[in-house]
Amino acid sequence: MTTADSTTDRPRMPSRLELALAGLWAGLRELAELVWSSPTAVVGLAIVLAWVLVAIFAPFITAHSPLEQDYLTINKGPSTEHLLGTDHLGRDVWARVAYGARTILSLGPISVLVAFLLGLTLGLPAGYYRGRVDEIIMRVLDALMAFPTILLYMIIISALGASAFNVVIAIAVGGAPGIARLVRALTMDIRTREYVAAAKLRGDHDFSIMVREILPNCRGPLIVDLLLRIGYAAFYIGTLGFLGLGLPPPTPDWGGMVQEGYSRMLANVWPVLSATLAIVTLVIGLNLFADGVREESMRYQ
């Protein structure tokens, strides 16, 4: 009992978790203020949120399953039964668009996060240690960056086979070099600061310095880069789907829908038109949002 009393007497030190949550909360508020002050970002966010809502509530706002085929209603235009008509297998286009939003909105952020993990593991040590480690990592990354991204995707996916997992791998590998370069440049700048020297002096481990001192202080540019990259990822997931390198057929995927509907455009324009407009609006929404945030954050600097 006495110990409990003594803790109430002194102001309690916040735990590490509480500190982290407080930091996260402050970061989110900062981001929210940034978004709110840019009309471009607000418009972009509204478009993206609309698609996020469609993705989350897909089962409640569609009358049909995206996979249910009906051979009696093939290639029909919009009706009260099928809001956007049906495709060449009699599947409901609106249901496929709504569930397709789930596909692209989950794969996009996941692949960007994987790309960031890869980029951080390469960029932090390269910028922190410099020397030979840096030299080797940068040579390999230069080689990867000289390689046209689309070709990299094509080769990776045609080699590994088309699946959600491989799309994530391809986009992560394609994005990692750019992120690693950014992280390296930021690390090279931040490692000369006093608080890094202080951490070294008190004997912190290199790993802990990189993750606890350097990484949090790179967050501004990294968040902007992350937002931009989610737009690119959505762009490329759609493109891969269109090239026939996306998700395997029955899965509702916008790029794949465009490819399937494209050759049947003369019979029924609705499947291809809906999927094309869906991907265009989502990618533009993501771009407007990221661009607004970027411009606003540059104004602060």
Partner 1 sequence: MARYIIRRMLTMLLTMLIVSVLVFAIVEIAPGNVARNILGAYATPEQEASMANQLGLTRPVHLRYLSWLFGSDWQAAAVIGLPLRQTVTAQGLVANSIQWWAVDENGDLAQWRVEQGQLVKLVRQPDGATVRIPDERAWRTEADGQEVFWGVDTAGRAAKWVKGQGGTEYRYEYSGWIKSTDSPAEYIPISKGLFRGEAGLSLRYKAPVSEVIGRRIGNSFILAVLAILFSIPIAVSLGLIAGLNEGKLVDRVISVGGLVTAGSPDFATGILLIMVFALWLKVLPGATVLTTEDAIFRDPRLLVLPVLTASLVEIGYVLRITRASVVEVMNSAYVRTAILKGLSYRQVVVGHVLRNAMLAPITVIMLHINWFIGGLVVVESVFGYPGLGNFILNAALYKDVYAIEAGAMVLIVLAVGTQLVADIIYSLLNPRIRYA
For partner 1, give the closer residue by CB, 217 or 239.
Answer: 239
Contact set for partner 1, span 224-253 (CB under 8 A) = 231, 235, 238-239, 242-244
By the rule CB under 8 A, 136 interacts with partner 1: no
User: Which amino acid, residue 244?
Assistant: G
> Binders of partner 1: how many residues, by CB under 8 A?
43
Query: Is 142 among the residues that bind partner 1 (CB under 8 A)?
Result: yes
- Give the whole-angstrom CA distance, residue 141 versus residue 175: 11
- Kindly state the smallest distance separating residue 235's Cβ from partner 1, in Å: 5
Could you say whether residue 117 binds partner 1 (CB under 8 A)? no
Give yes or no for residue 143 binding partner 1 (CB under 8 A): yes
CB-nearer residue toward partner 1: 62 or 274: 274
Among 1, 4, 146, 201, binds partner 1 (CB under 8 A): 146
DSSP the chain: -HHHHHHHHSPPPPPHHHHHHHHHHHHHHHHHHHHHT-HHHHHHHHHHHHHHHHHHTHHHH-SS-TT---TTS-S----SSSTT-B-TTS-BHHHHHHHHHHHHHHHHHHHHHHHHHHHHHHHHHHHHH-HHHHHHHHHHHHHHHHS-HHHHHHHHHHHH-S-HHHHHHHHHHHHHHHHHHHHHHHHHHHTTSHHHHHHHHTT--HHHIIIIIIHHHTHHHHHHHHHHHHHHHHHHHHHHHHTT-SS-TTS--HHHHHHHHHTTTTT-SHHHHHHHHHHHHHHHHHHHHHHHHHHHHHHH-
Contact with partner 1 (CB under 8 A) among 25, 36, 57, 147 = 147
Smallest CA-to-CA distance from 179 within 109, 226, 119, 221 is with 119
Q: Does 32 help bind partner 1 (rule: CB under 8 A)? A: no
Cβ-based nearer residue to partner 1, 85 or 209 = 85
Contacting range for partner 1; rule: CB under 8 A; set: 11-19, 52-60, 197-205, 260-268: 260-268
Choose, by CB under 8 A, the member of 62, 149, 187, 268 that binds partner 1: 149
Among the listed residues 156, 185, 188, 215, the single contact to partner 1 using CB under 8 A: 156
> Which of 52, 113, 154, 185 lies at the binding interface for partner 1 (CB under 8 A)?
154
Task: List the one residue from 103, 111, 268, 276 that touches partner 1 (CB under 8 A).
Answer: 276
Binding site for partner 1 (CB under 8 A): 40, 139-140, 142-143, 145-151, 154-156, 158-161, 231, 235, 238-239, 242-244, 255, 258, 262, 265-266, 269, 272-273, 276, 279-280, 283-284, 286-288, 291
